[in-house]
Amino acid sequence: MGEEPFFSGSRGSGTIFFAGCPCHCVFCQNWQISRRHGRGEVVSEEAFYRIAQTLIQRGVHNLNFVTPDHFWPHIENLCRRLRAEGVDLPFLFNSSGYQLPDIVTRYAEWIDIFLPDFKFADPQLAKRVMNDERYPEIALSALTRMIEAKGVLSPFDPSGDTLARRGVLVRHLVLPGNVENSRRVLDLLRLEFGRRLPISLMSQYTPVPNVLHQPPFHRKLATAEYQAVLDHALDLGFENILIQQPDPSGAFLPDFEQRAPFRGNTPDTP
């Protein structure tokens, strides 16, 4: 239930988290599985299939592959098998945005919905956080391929009453002390893709143990910082923005030490 309402709906997104990530951002909100070695469970191809089938039988609205890049051959085989068996749930590719553009075409043969981050427009910030100043150009090229293949997210219903079936939604996590980076991200997206591009503008940043002594990432995002970025998005004329109200409860920060990592969307957290 921790995804956007048009993915979570009433029965949840069938989310499968994969250990590791190509970015290794210092502030990663999923740091327990993306940066910590040895987290996760090694499974066979058949066990992977059973995991997916268990989710499907529970009635989830989609299958959602999180940081799937480095496991793609296994995911591709799973998607092929499920489609051959008549499964018509949307398949989501939930990623960092840090994909080589040429591989996106291969993903798009099986993936219905792309859910990329667009983290940085500032190359120096990307260098500091994930040690690759090329992130903005790589992410932009990959996003272009995704939109060419699938178009923008449809339908876009923030209430969650009508579930998304196809297309691209861009996520952007606003970082403390980096409002200007977020403004530049929005400027770039508006220039390249226009005002109809759907954006999930996230306020849920929470400092994790790795950055407690690394300003400005050592603190939570200020409400005024998020508001400044949101105001800029509105000034640019974006028509499809999902706004995330600041939530001190931590409902969207996962704890993978727990059997249920996070609460996410509940009747009390719209």
User: pLDDT band at 32, cuts 50/70/90?
Assistant: confident
Are the beta carbons of 119 and 95 closer than 8 angstroms? no
- The answer on pLDDT for 136 being more than 70 is yes
Distance CA 21, CA 193 (A): 27
Residue 269's pLDDT band (boundaries 50, 70, 90)? very low
Dihedral of alpha carbons 182, 185, 189, 191, sign: positive
- In order of their start, the domains of the chain are 5-243 (3.20.20.70)
Of 12-21, 210-219, 221-230, 253-262, which gets the smallest average pLDDT?
253-262
- CB neighbour class for 99 (10 Å; exposed up to 12, middle 13-18, buried from 19): buried
At residue 75's C-alpha, the angle toward residues 36 and 168, to 5°, is 90
CB atoms near residue 64 (< 10 Å): 26
Which residues fall within 8 angstroms of residue 268, CB to CB, at 6 or more apart?
none
Given a contact cutoff of 8 angstroms between Cβ atoms, the answer to whether 166 and 113 are in contact is yes
Q: pLDDT class for 184, splitting at 50, 70, 90?
A: very high
- Kindly report the average pLDDT of the chain as a whole number: 92
Q: Residue 36 — very low, low, confident or very high, per pLDDT cuts 50/70/90?
A: low
| pLDDT attached to residue 2 | 86
> What was the pLDDT predicted at 203?
95
Give pLDDT tens digits for 54-101: 999 999 999 999 999 999 999 999 999 999 999 999 999 999 999 999
Query: So what's the pLDDT on residue 93?
Result: 98
- Express each pLDDT in 144-181 by its tens digit: 999 999 999 999 999 999 999 999 999 999 999 999 99
Please list the alpha-helical segments (H only) found in the chain.
5-8, 31-34, 45-57, 72-84, 101-108, 123-130, 135-150, 179-193, 223-235
Mean pLDDT in residue range 216-227: 96
As a whole number of angstroms, the distance between CA 106 and CA 122 comes to 28
